[in-house]
Amino acid sequence: MFYITSIFQIVTDLNYIIFDRLKTFGIFKEENDLLNNFKGKSLLSLNDFSKEEIAYLVDFSIQLKEEKKSNIQKDRLKNKSIALIFEKTSTRTRCAASVACFDEGGHSEFLGKDDIQMGKKESIRDTARVLGGMFSAILFRGFEQETVDLLAKYSGIPVINGLTDREHPTQILADFMTIKEVFGRLEKLKITYLGDGRNNVANTLLLACAKMGIDIAISCPKSLFPENKLIEDAKILAKQNNSSIIITEDPFLAVRDADVIYTDVWVSMGEEDKPEIQERIKSLMPYSVTKKIMDSTGKPDTIFLHCLPATHKDEVHYMEVTEEVFESKQSYVFLQAENRLHTIKSVLISLIGGVK
């Protein structure tokens, strides 16, 4: 068994060496040109990336996952240091970024809201310039989109949006990776999002699906529909990529023929004490993902996704998704969570790393 494993490892390593040499001699010129597009760029919004670039990041993530399973380490982030600025607490984003750096020979430095002076004694612009002189990249997770935009503008190094109130691009990359692993493709699938249509996941899904040729439906009360400008921008992208957009108050219309049912918490971090929260929860109750909702797609292989954490009480999930659905065979939430690691790693290597 030892000899078989050793031979397999040697063959796998040779394949990667040959692939790298072929790229060096320009055999894969188109891919090299695409790689060059990433270097030094920031990931503030998926809307800033082309369809081909997003597809590349997803496919590269799948390759990186296979490498990790095969214990292949390439140290493509060697001598690179990444600042992790977190205004909000995190499980998946923090762990994914830290492990991604470690796996590829890099270093991550966690900077919580009480660890640095940004936004208090020091301006965002000044903090950006200080960190830009010390780090190779910044991953920011916080509240305002303006903050991550300023970090990118003044730091002089690539900045990654790990979450803002407006967008969540690294999450949607992991979602697309999960969907491609399950279905083998992205185009001509249908994703239905049930819940607050104005939140960062819904915003990013709407534009990214339209760009990638994925049909997208969002269902929620009319008061929680996405912004009109966002819908109009998405419709333009959808027309260019032969996909469709449905925004409706009817959850059963929205889930018809869906390949993926997606939801998120109804109360985002920092909103817990807002006076209108109880009214929002009440209005969203018809959009809870139940077994009846899952059965209403008309497809036995529909999967369920949730970016996590999911609302729970006494270890039982409720509110935006029932325990029955969350723990069902249709639920791929933990594969989705694992894929945060591989997609953040893909982004880091593409923006600041060494050879693929």
The one catalytic residue in 76, 92, 141, 306 is 141
The answer to whether residue 141 is catalytic is: yes
Instruction: Answer for the pair 268, 168: CB distance below 8 angstroms, yes or no.
Output: no
User: What three-state secondary structure class fits 282?
Assistant: helix
The answer to whether residue 94 is catalytic is: no
Assess whether 143 and 259 both reside in one domain: no
Domain enclosing residue 242, as ranges: 173-337
- State the pLDDT confidence band at 270, using cuts at 50, 70 and 90: confident
- State the pLDDT confidence band at 30, using cuts at 50, 70 and 90: low
Is 80 exceeded by the pLDDT of residue 9? no
What letter does residue 91 receive in the DSSP assignment? S
Assess whether 331 and 344 both reside in one domain: no
Instruction: Tell me how far apart the alpha carbons of residues 113 and 104 are, in angstroms, rounded to a whole number.
Output: 26
Instruction: Tell me how far apart the alpha carbons of residues 29 and 213 are, in angstroms, rounded to a whole number.
Output: 25
| Torsions phi, psi for 87 (to 5 deg) | -85, -25
Assess whether 52 and 150 both reside in one domain: yes
Average pLDDT over residues 295-305: 98
Assess whether 196 and 145 both reside in one domain: no
Number of domains comprising the chain: 2
Percent of the chain residues topping a pLDDT of 90 = 86
Is 70 exceeded by the pLDDT of residue 26? no
Burial 164-190 (b: 16+ CB within 10 A, else e): bbbbbbbbbbbbbbbbbbbeeebeebb
Average pLDDT over residues 72-95: 97
Residue 25 pLDDT: 42
Query: 2: buried, middle or exposed (CB in 10 Å: 19+, 13-18, 0-12)?
Result: exposed
Assess whether 203 and 320 both reside in one domain: yes
The answer to whether residue 306 is catalytic is: no
The answer to whether residue 185 is catalytic is: no
Is 60 exceeded by the pLDDT of residue 23? no
Assess whether 147 and 235 both reside in one domain: no
Residue 355 pLDDT: 66
The one catalytic residue in 264, 306, 317, 336 is 264
Q: Nearest Cα to 124, choosing from 105, 147, 97?
A: 147
Residue 2 pLDDT: 41
Assess whether 15 and 157 both reside in one domain: yes
Q: Of residues 10 and 197, which shows the higher confidence score?
A: 197
The one catalytic residue in 307, 330, 336, 342 is 307
The one catalytic residue in 92, 166, 340, 342 is 340
Assess whether 323 and 183 both reside in one domain: yes
Residue 274 pLDDT: 85
Assess whether 261 and 317 both reside in one domain: yes
Instruction: Indicate the average pLDDT of the chain.
Output: 92
Assess whether 259 and 186 both reside in one domain: yes
Instruction: Answer for the pair 129, 104: CB distance below 8 angstroms, yes or no.
Output: no
The one catalytic residue in 171, 306, 317, 342 is 171
Assess whether 197 and 322 both reside in one domain: yes
The CATH number covering residue 286 comes to 3.40.50.1370
Assess whether 233 and 126 both reside in one domain: no
- State the pLDDT confidence band at 27, using cuts at 50, 70 and 90: very low
Instruction: Tell me how far apart the alpha carbons of residues 124 and 151 are, in angstroms, rounded to a whole number.
Output: 7
CB under 8 Å to 309, separation ≥6 — which residues? 91, 265
The answer to whether residue 145 is catalytic is: no
Average pLDDT over residues 153-177: 98
pLDDT tens figures, 332-354? 999 999 999 999 999 999 999 97
The one catalytic residue in 76, 92, 166, 168 is 168
The answer to whether residue 264 is catalytic is: yes
